[in-house]
Structure 1
């Protein structure tokens, strides 16, 4: 069975993380993704990562994480040749993804209105800091800025240590996922109408989508989120020191809490409602802190799992990637990079499909690695017009 986006051509004129990640997700599902690189100004992600030699070669690990299944052509979009080539690519493309400053590409003749006239079926996705409209449309920003201005950082940490930035660029990758979903929706609608459309996606908006329950708590209930991110703090949802390591407990409903207290031999602590658990959070927390100090976090994790109580010790990233649960999944996909790196595992998708799963067919490209073949193909296409 063919993958969902086989036969779909995506022109990827994005940089850094969010936009390239969106195009990467489409590529894992079979889309032919042509990446537009700047010849004398490599994408920031190509220069960032843990390996200095890779950074110097414009193949930084930040780029490798989302560069597979793409072909690269280097184009100077301020030159007539670069503009002609991009116009030729977009004439028959299905998707155009870009994250330039609002209006910047329109000034070069690549705005949605111009392109939709020559290719009415084109799905044109604009990713920007604040969207194409509004008083802040011309401003720029990065993941950490959006975590700050969205209220996310104010809810992260503890009452004593806040605000804190999330360790991962969660807004960037959430934006990428939302962009891939929006493009998929526009392609699906195109099957009905025969026409593409403009997707206007703002990273600021995406950051707010990550906090839906907190937003409704404020706008509907008038409750201000606490610095630790919990509107209704319960002892069953907390972080606890142990004899060795840190344990995170996730007993968030009455059934789980009943199993927790039963397993710990404290049935008298079982409550009849979540509100009772909230009201008794201080006493419950003290009991749990004393109990959890008697064993190591790894022991508690295994014990609580056996009683179907959600819990896990705090692990580093390497430990997380060594979890055997990942082996049959698609979260990590193998790809063979050029020598001396060889075979590695790179991020994939968070889902499997019963028909045809996402996969990596092509390693991340060097700048302009496929430029000659794409230019030759474009030339042949133009000669047939």
Structure 2
């Protein structure tokens, strides 16, 4: 085991990632970033995301690259009984299983209830990712990020109020579901330290989407209404994108003190004492009038200079940058949020632990790159490995 792994928070934890596309692989990657030994069990055709390009790097799309670092790859044909034998032998020794198979797939393999895996393997933490869960009106149906954005109401609150709702431009539901999966795994690992028992975890895209809809869900559940306010905020004003002389600037004023400072800096201190704008509750009611006042005044300022001045005074704001501009920022480098592994360029690790930091150890693997190595690691004899490869149940790249 490398020193990078031994110094990381999840040293000694072994994760089997049998998931595909985004939420599951993202969760397994996060665990791998913090020291878990992650084995990606992949079909011979490979994860769909390998083809989600262009661009491509050495035949794989950056979409795949961004979700599968810090993993070894074992290529197995799970449609074959011998392939499933490999899977179940691995489950005897791993700590965590992350998967997003259909219930019908498990049943075809002789597992009527995936939760039964933790009875068969008592220390196993089984994290199951799905679109809607297995019960209820939508139980068992496939879930995709954009469709769940639409169904959950998330899309309804995004975009220009005068136009159709707009899909959020990243797979926010998928990535957030992956984060919830990581939280669930960590909770279960912590509990296992006390009980000695594993357990099943279920995370769904639908539950995650509703869970992240604050404050709209809270408003709607307590006598208010959800609202599409464009770049604005339903409960905080001014919290919006404004034009300046040079570029657009997002102003994110969170309290009356910040609002007063903003008004002073832009040369309109009287706005802070105007009865229409004195408190946030006043400003929310009179948001259109305030926007007109602020937009006219801000148009005369240089955006970058105003950004520096306001932030120095504790007034949150930011110029609107492109992804490329954000990646090129000096602060991005300072925070180690742009990095490389071999020929691959990747984003950095956002969670910084002081004593046990995460590390970028392994580049995204090729299909079956580590098949023999992983099987040896899990106690398969050379004869068993050779037989599995000859039978077509396992493939070594």
Q: Same fold (TM over 0.5)?
A: yes
* 1:189-233 superposed Cα distances (whole Å, 9 cap, x missing partner): 111111010101110111112112210100013323234363236
Which of 288, 298, 306 aligns to 1:282? It is 288
The separation in 2 between residues aligned to 1:175 and 1:382, in whole angstroms, is 39
Deviates more, 1:9-18 or 1:243-252: 243-252
**Corresponding residue of 1:334:** 340
The answer on whether the counterparts of 1:13 and 1:35 sit within 8 Å (CA) in structure 2 is yes
Quote the Cα distance in structure 1 between the aligned partners of 2:349 and 2:126. Answer: 23
Shift of 1:26: 0.3
| Residues 1:16 and 2:16 aligned together | no
C-alpha distance in 2 between matches for 1:377 and 1:351: 29
Specify the alignment match of 2:233 in structure 1.
Answer: 230
CA contact (8 A) 2:157 2:226 kept: no
2:297 matched to which residue of 1?
Answer: 291
Q: Does residue 368 in structure 1 map to residue 378 in structure 2?
A: no
The match for 2:42 is: 37
Aligned counterparts, 1:289-328, within 5 A: 289-328=295-334
Query: 1:353 matched to which residue of 2?
Result: 353
Partner residue in 2 for 1:339: none
| Offset at residue 121 of structure 1 (A) | 0.4
Aligned positions, number: 373
- Of residues 347-356 and 367-376 in structure 1, the stretch that sits farther from structure 2 once superposed is 347-356
Deviation at 1:333, TM superposition (A): 3.6
Hey, what's the Cα distance between the residues in 2 that align with 1:265 and 1:259? 10
SS at the partner of 1:327?
Answer: helix
- Answer whether contact 1:329 1:351 (CA < 8 A) is retained: no
Q: 1:180 aligns with which of 142, 166, 182?
A: 182
User: 1:152, 1:112 → 2: CA distance?
Assistant: 30
Q: Does 1:7 align with 2:12?
A: yes
Q: Is the 8 A contact 1:156 1:162 kept in 2?
A: no
Shift of 1:325: 1.8
Give the superposition deviation at 1:46. Answer: 0.9
Contact kept in structure 2, 1:102 and 1:128, CA below 8 Å:
no
Match among 39, 46, 63 for residue 50 of structure 2 = 46
Matched with 2:63 is 62
> Is the alpha carbon distance of 1:242 and 1:64 closer, same or farther for their aligned partners in structure 2, counting shifts above 3 Å?
same
Could you tell me how far 1:53 is from its partner in structure 2? Answer: 6.0
User: Who is 1:264 aligned against?
Assistant: 266
CA distance 1:230–1:258, shift in 2 (3 Å)? same
Q: How far apart are the structure 2 equivalents of 1:139 and 1:330?
A: 39
Aligned twin of 2:84: 83
CA distance in 2, matches of 1:211, 1:351: 23
Give CA-to-partner distance per residue, 1:49-102, whole Å, 9 cap, x none.
332464xx3x21111002111000111111022111111111111000001123
Match for residue 28 of structure 1? 33
Please list every run of at least 4 consecutive aligned residues from structure 1 whose deviation after the TM superposition is greater than 6 angstroms. Answer: none
Quick one: distance in 2 between partners of 1:106 and 1:197?
A: 20
What is the SS of the residue equivalent to 2:168? coil
The answer to whether the 8 A contact 2:32-2:70 is kept is: yes
Query: Is contact 1:88–1:382 with CA below 8 Å preserved after alignment?
Result: no
- Distance of aligned partners of 1:191 and 1:53 in 2 relative to their CA distance in 1, 3 Å threshold: closer
Q: Secondary structure at the match of 1:212?
A: coil
What are the ranges of 5 or more consecutive residues in structure 2 without an aligned counterpart?
A: 1-5, 384-397
Measured in 2, the distance between the counterparts of 1:379 and 1:80 equals 19
Change in CA separation of 1:347 and 1:381 when aligned onto 2, cut-off 3 Å: farther
The Cα shift of 1:348 comes to 3.4
**Cα distance, 1:186 vs structure 2:** 0.7
Return the offset for 1:109.
3.6
3-state DSSP class of the match of 2:334? coil
Relative distance call for 1:214 and 1:165 in structure 2 (3 A) is same
**For residues 184 and 379 of structure 2, what CA distance do their matches in structure 1 show?**
32
CA gap 1:91/1:109 in 2 versus in 1, 3 angstroms: farther
How far residue 381 of structure 1 moved from its aligned partner, in angstroms, is 7.0
CA RMSD of superposed structures (Å): 2.1
Deviation at 1:377, TM superposition (A): 3.4
